A and B are shown apart, each in its own frame.
Chain A
Amino acid sequence: MSCRILIIGATSAIATAVARRQAVGAARIFLVGRQGALLRALADDLRVRGAAEVDLEILDALDTAAHAAVVERAFARWDGFDQVLVAHGVLPDQTACERSVDAALAAFDINARSVLALALLLASRLEAQGSGAITLISSPAGERGRQSNYIYGAAKASVTVLAAGLRHRLASRGVRVLTILPGFVDTPMTASFAKGALWATPDRVAADIVRALEAGFGTIYTPWFWRWIMAIIRSVPERIFIRTRL
């Protein structure tokens, strides 16, 4: 029986790379996202690449009232899932957010609030099922507030804590909860940034996510070296840290 995977935010670069890797392994892939035409194009792509079956539902994650029905339909259609990936999010313009509270709240809503709402629904489903793995994509930006992107970081910090709490709650119920912390990834979200040696491709990150979904545990930095970069960044005393330009 091939693996059933549910992907929220499926047209994001990292989620697409995960879906493509799973397609090669003949998985059954259920896509959820906001843009119908893009989702359908991705579904065709995954079928050609070898997916055993692809289905999709259109959902705007900000529309929390619609979450339950979409999750309900997805779980009913394939009688549950072995793996769930929550991958949607935006990288807000920090300066715009500092000028406009509405912009900051909008970014926080999509990066934190909608993730909380979906993760609770999905966790309960997997808990009832008594099996499966759920992965939330968070960010090293949530590990320490930095002047350059603390709005995004604050949302991701809440996702990291949410995932840790769910992991604790579901540990005894046969459900694994994974936190993925990708470093710099070369995606449309970061397209205008200058790229250096620390940057990874979405496929490199996807390889780690696929491995985590299959048999991983806890918090996974990807690429691996971010665990050590962040250990250093976390350990810098605040009095010194606030003098840096990070």
Chain B
Amino acid sequence: MTGWSKRVSSWGRLNADLHRWTVLGDRESVVATIRHGGLPFGNGRSYGDVCLNPGGTLWSTRGLDRFIAFDGESGVVECEAGVLLGEIIDVVLPRGWFLPVAPGTRYVTVGGAIANDVHGKGHHRTGSFGDHLLSLQLVRTDGELIECSANANADWLRATIGGLGLTGVITRARLQLRRVAGAWLDADAQPFETLDAFFALSGAATRDFEYNVAWIDCAAGGRGVFFRANHSASCDPLLPPSPRRFPLEPPISLVNRLSLRAFNAAYFRAHQIRQGRRQQDYRSFFFPLDNLLEWNRIYGPRGFFQYQSLVPPVAQLEATRAMLQEISRSRMGSFLAVLKTFGDRPAPGLLSFPAAGTTLALDFPNQGENTLALFRRLDAIVLAAGGRLYPAKDARMAPSMFAAGYPRLPEFLRFRDPGIASSLSRRLLGS
């Protein structure tokens, strides 16, 4: 057996356990490497334990980082599963193409984007990542190779999109891109004072804007800032990126009650003063946090949770209001709070997270039992509303909550690879 011992954390940095770490360096050697069992690991940007397998093996897919083909006429790109979404943008944007779905960071792999069926600010128009996947190759730990597309092994495709890495190792994928004129967006920002105002803005923006999302002040009820944008016709050149790195791990979380209130109030006021239209480069619109590398250190050595829920349309106003009240009362939470309304297209994967309704995503510094108790209160609201949580962000939900949120789970289980398990699968599926 190859590999070595390494401490691995997910993005939430809640723990750093030893794993046996093996790099998948080329497509040909995948079958031989994975037959002893383990879990595929992309770039480690999922927040909870979906990418962790303490005491077991992780197969790093970052060695599978090659492009295979790109057709500048049709906008179809084929690449290995360890290519980062940002690398795809760098290659295709100069030729007039862009990702059909851009999540909140460019630092996720194609394989990870498929396994978590990631979404972005454009879900109401273009759905989730899996909606644009033309085909993929799945390698099972028993050595079987499965080529999946809408026409062949479509059931395997549905299981693997959003399949949390549990159906096999994705080695390569073909993706349909979307045309753009350039790197810019025509964006605007509108402050709102109440949750009702958010839903009114969101309903109107669905028609006229490809992208919309809101920042919400979790410390102050329902106020926030609504961001909307379309791709711009501008082809102006971009300045090269100059990301900074968060330099160290502070001994305690820098996000606390005081800093949160002050920061949120300042942010809200800044957008009241400076609202209206402007041209924004795609990096600052889609990936604002990528400009500060390792920003997750800000929460200190105990790490943080993200709580991302979805509640269906009939309950979205009341359930969202109730969750925000709980959070505000708890005086926990963070600056990073996002509210978005999804479209109602059918999901491409059996376990896809996005569906019609409203999603709320919030970071919480890890304060142990206090934080977990708040989450249980939020869980009750989500469950009563008929909603679900996003496994890519989760490190603590109960199996019953997962089963309730994902009614197609029994169907999915038939496609699991018996040689693959994660902390999340052991916690939620029992193995």
A residues adjacent to B (C-beta < 8 A):
37-38, 41-42, 44-45, 48-50, 188, 191-192
Q: Select B26's contact among A41, A50, A191, beta carbons within 8 Å.
A: A41
Set of chain A residues within 8 Å of B67, measured between Cβ atoms: 44-45, 48-49
Given A37-B26, A37-B28: A44 and B4 within 8 A (CB)?
Answer: no
* Cα–Cα distance between A41 and B78 once the two chains are bound (Å): 12
* Cα–Cα distance between A50 and B63 once the two chains are bound (Å): 21
Set of chain A residues within 8 Å of B25, measured between Cβ atoms: 188
- Shortest Cβ distance from residue A48 to the other chain B in the assembled complex, whole angstroms: 4
* Cα–Cα distance between A42 and B26 once the two chains are bound (Å): 10
* Cα–Cα distance between A59 and B58 once the two chains are bound (Å): 33
B106 beta carbon closer than 8 Å to chain A: no
Question: Considering the complex, which residues of chain B in the window 67-92 have a beta carbon less than 8 Å from any beta carbon of chain A?
Answer: 67-70, 77, 79, 91
* Cα–Cα distance between A107 and B63 once the two chains are bound (Å): 24
B178 beta carbon closer than 8 Å to chain A: no
- Shortest Cβ distance from residue B190 to the other chain A in the assembled complex, whole angstroms: 39
Set of chain B residues within 8 Å of A37, measured between Cβ atoms: 26, 28
* Cα–Cα distance between A80 and B52 once the two chains are bound (Å): 50
- Please give me the 4 A-B residue pairs with the lowest Cβ-Cβ distance, nearest first: A48-B67, A45-B66, A192-B4, A48-B70
A sample of 29 inter-chain contacts (CB < 8 A) reads A37-B26, A37-B28, A41-B26, A41-B27, A41-B66, A41-B68, A42-B66, A44-B66, A44-B67, A44-B68, A44-B69, A45-B67, A45-B68, A48-B67, A48-B68, A48-B69, A48-B70, A48-B77, A48-B79, A48-B91, A49-B67, A49-B91, A50-B91, A188-B23, A188-B25, A188-B63, A191-B4, A191-B23, A192-B4
Set of chain A residues within 8 Å of B66, measured between Cβ atoms: 41-42, 44-45
Set of chain A residues within 8 Å of B79, measured between Cβ atoms: 48
Tell which of A38, A48, A50 has the most Cβ of chain B within 10 Å: A48
- Shortest Cβ distance from residue B261 to the other chain A in the assembled complex, whole angstroms: 36
Q: A37-B26, A48-B69 are in contact. List 10 more A-B contacts (CB 8 A).
A: A37-B28, A41-B66, A41-B68, A42-B66, A44-B67, A45-B67, A48-B68, A48-B70, A48-B77, A191-B23
Set of chain B residues within 8 Å of A191, measured between Cβ atoms: 4, 23
* Cα–Cα distance between A191 and B79 once the two chains are bound (Å): 23
* Cα–Cα distance between A71 and B4 once the two chains are bound (Å): 38
Set of chain B residues within 8 Å of A45, measured between Cβ atoms: 66-68
* Cα–Cα distance between A49 and B69 once the two chains are bound (Å): 9
Please, which residue of chain A has its CB at the minimum distance from the CB of B72?
A48
Please, which residue of chain B has its CB at the minimum distance from the CB of A43?
B66
- Shortest Cβ distance from residue A44 to the other chain B in the assembled complex, whole angstroms: 5
Question: Considering the complex, which residues of chain B in the window 41-70 have a beta carbon less than 8 Å from any beta carbon of chain A?
Answer: 63, 66-70
* Cα–Cα distance between A42 and B80 once the two chains are bound (Å): 11
- Shortest Cβ distance from residue B428 to the other chain A in the assembled complex, whole angstroms: 32
- Shortest Cβ distance from residue B69 to the other chain A in the assembled complex, whole angstroms: 6
Question: Considering the complex, which residues of chain B in the window 1-38 have a beta carbon less than 8 Å from any beta carbon of chain A?
Answer: 4, 23, 25-28
Set of chain A residues within 8 Å of B26, measured between Cβ atoms: 37-38, 41
* Cα–Cα distance between A192 and B67 once the two chains are bound (Å): 26
- Shortest Cβ distance from residue A51 to the other chain B in the assembled complex, whole angstroms: 11
- Shortest Cβ distance from residue B121 to the other chain A in the assembled complex, whole angstroms: 27
Set of chain A residues within 8 Å of B28, measured between Cβ atoms: 37
Please, which residue of chain A has its CB at the minimum distance from the CB of B77?
A48
Set of chain A residues within 8 Å of B23, measured between Cβ atoms: 188, 191
* Cα–Cα distance between A44 and B28 once the two chains are bound (Å): 15
- Shortest Cβ distance from residue B33 to the other chain A in the assembled complex, whole angstroms: 13
* Cα–Cα distance between A38 and B28 once the two chains are bound (Å): 9
Please, which residue of chain A has its CB at the minimum distance from the CB of B22?
A191
* Cα–Cα distance between A38 and B26 once the two chains are bound (Å): 7
- Shortest Cβ distance from residue B107 to the other chain A in the assembled complex, whole angstroms: 14
- Shortest Cβ distance from residue A35 to the other chain B in the assembled complex, whole angstroms: 8
Set of chain A residues within 8 Å of B91, measured between Cβ atoms: 48-50
Set of chain B residues within 8 Å of A50, measured between Cβ atoms: 91
Tell which of B26, B63, B77, B79 has the most Cβ of chain A within 10 Å: B26
* Cα–Cα distance between A228 and B63 once the two chains are bound (Å): 32
